[in-house]
């Protein structure tokens, strides 16, 4: 959908949510190919009429250039002419919708304030003054309205100004969804993931200690994974500072344009990581705008096994891997054949700039990820320990670098290696809350 039509929908969102009757439109939008039946089912399950209207308008913006004219046609076919004319008026270039008479004073609409990055702050200041007031950023933190909020949080570590670090002071800090796929259906041709419950227990305990509301879902099919992510995106996160999604499953390699890989439902089909991240981006989850969204993926990125390369003996330490270590790879192929074209197109069409998102992978894209049936996966075991030892003093990106370094020194079956990595679109350092800091007197 082009920007002109998106603007028309966004300018009139309040009227659409208030007056639109979505139930009258579903058949027409399905017949015209604007939505699939699965998408309509998801909209219908979003709640009240207003919730469905809000979700329909939000999804409409992702459905390509034909979506807007088809939507107008459906409105007229169902007798909702006033809304059609409202949008038609807003469609004309240079002609704003609802143009009031010159002497009519319209009270300002109240909207949530956008969360701006330091670059946006500089840009706004530049617009107000002809000369940029500061050529070089000062090393002394400038007082800001958010400083009082940070001062309220007792901490054993000196915290930086909120313009330099993410605000992580809410209690609880946010939601953490753990999807743990262990037992796979026979038709999926995927083996059961022994040891995954060990990973689940460690991460559930760890993120509860970091002051998150943890919810665990077990053995989810493809559609159930998407449903849980959709439900998470519809929660009100306005009182929280962060959101975490952890997925423990088999994985595979798929085509992508930003985040590689996909995770399998227990029925076989796989959900692209790229699609998973879109559920919580600023467009689909407004209450998480400007807040960090963290994804931890314990799954293979493909079927290739890393043999490593020789290094000096001083650079390695004894292997932690065992002869019984298993992988989370798809056993037959690392292609994206199990994904429908509509899912791939959806992910690409609706993905904006992934601001404030970090995806941490247990292994490099294309390669297998190793898991011990008794002690759990290498990645989760080391991630849990690093969080326990270092969360009080180090930021997340630094800790993930420690995890990568330690996992890279392990060996499976005597010679196979593993290399975790992250796709990092965070704008600032992120420091977790820890039990010690919450108990420290103010």
**CB within 8 A of 39, min separation 6: which ones?**
59
**Dihedral in degrees, nearest 10, Cα atoms 303, 309, 313, 319:** 10
Residue 405, CA distances (Å) to 182, 192, 421 in order: 27, 28, 10
- 98 φ/ψ angles, rounded to the nearest 5 degrees: 60, 55
> Rounded to whole angstroms, how far apart are CA atoms 401 and 419?
11
- 97 φ/ψ angles, rounded to the nearest 5 degrees: -70, 150
Rg (Cα) of the chain, in Å, rounded?
Answer: 24
Q: Which of 250, 256, 264, 284 is catalytic?
A: 250
Q: To 5 degrees, how large is the angle CA 352–CA 60–CA 14?
A: 100
Structure tokens at 378: 């290498």
- 377 φ/ψ angles, rounded to the nearest 5 degrees: -80, 155
Q: In what order do the strands lie in the sheet with 293-298?
A: 212-218, 174-180, 242-248, 293-298, 357-361, 421-424
Q: In what order do the strands lie in the sheet with 251-252?
A: 251-252, 262-264, 270-272
Structure tokens at 231: 């439900």
> Rounded to whole angstroms, how far apart are CA atoms 393 and 163?
19
Structure tokens at 343: 């899912």
**250 in catalytic set:** yes
Q: Are strands 293-298 and 357-361 parallel, antiparallel or unpaired?
A: parallel
Under 8 Å between Cβ of 25 and 75: yes
Helix (H, G, I), strand (E, B) or coil at 98: coil
Q: How many CB atoms lie within 10 A of CB 205?
A: 13
> Rounded to whole angstroms, how far apart are CA atoms 400 and 384?
11
> Rounded to whole angstroms, how far apart are CA atoms 60 and 66?
10
Which sequence positions are flagged as catalytic?
Answer: 250, 300
């Amino acid at each position: 959908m082009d920007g002109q039509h998106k603007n028309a929908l966004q300018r009139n969102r309040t009227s659409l949510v208030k007056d639109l009757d979505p139930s009258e439109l579903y058949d027409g939008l399905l017949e015209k190919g604007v939505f699939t039946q699965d998408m309509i089912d998801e909209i219908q399950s979003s709640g009240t009429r207003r919730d469905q209207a809000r979700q329909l308008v939000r999804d409409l913006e992702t459905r390509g250039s034909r979506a807007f004219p088809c939507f107008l046609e459906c409105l007229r076919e169902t007798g909702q002419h006033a809304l059609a004319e409202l949008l038609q008026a807003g469609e004309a270039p240079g002609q704003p919708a609802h143009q009031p008479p010159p002497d009519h004073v319209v009270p300002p609409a109240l909207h949530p304030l956008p969360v701006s990055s330091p670059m946006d702050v500089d840009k706004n200041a530049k617009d107000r003054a002809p000369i940029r007031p500061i050529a070089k950023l000062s090393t002394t933190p400038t007082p800001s309205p958010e400083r009082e909020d940070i001062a309220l949080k007792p901490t054993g570590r000196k915290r930086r100004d909120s313009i330099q670090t993410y605000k992580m002071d809410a209690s609880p800090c946010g939601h953490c969804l753990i999807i743990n796929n262990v037992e796979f259906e026979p038709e999926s041709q995927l083996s059961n993931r022994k040891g995954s419950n060990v990973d689940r227990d460690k991460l559930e305990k760890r993120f509860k200690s970091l002051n998150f509301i943890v919810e665990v879902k077990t053995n989810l099919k493809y559609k159930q994974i998407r449903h849980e992510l959709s439900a998470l995106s519809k929660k009100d996160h306005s009182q929280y500072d962060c959101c975490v999604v952890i997925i423990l499953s088999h994985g595979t390699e798929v085509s992508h344009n930003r985040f590689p890989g996909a995770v399998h439902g227990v029925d076989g089909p796989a959900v692209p990581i790229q699609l998973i991240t879109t559920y919580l981006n600023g467009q689909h989850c407004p209450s998480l705008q400007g807040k960090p969204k963290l994804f931890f993926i314990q799954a293979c990125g493909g079927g290739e096994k890393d043999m490593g390369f020789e290094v000096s003996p001083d650079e390695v330490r004894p292997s932690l891997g065992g002869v019984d270590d298993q992988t989370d790879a798809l056993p037959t192929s690392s292609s994206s054949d199990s994904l429908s074209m509509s899912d791939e197109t959806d992910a690409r069409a609706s993905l904006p700039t992934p601001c404030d998102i970090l995806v941490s992978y247990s292994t490099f894209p294309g390669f297998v990820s190793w898991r011990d049936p008794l002690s759990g996966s290498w990645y989760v075991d080391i991630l849990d320990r690093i969080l326990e030892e270092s969360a009080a003093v180090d930021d997340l990106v630094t800790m993930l670098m420690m995890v990568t370094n330690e996992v890279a020194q392990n060996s499976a079956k005597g010679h196979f290696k593993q290399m975790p990595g992250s796709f990092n679109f965070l704008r600032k350092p992120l420091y977790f809350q820890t039990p010690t800091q919450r108990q420290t007197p103010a």
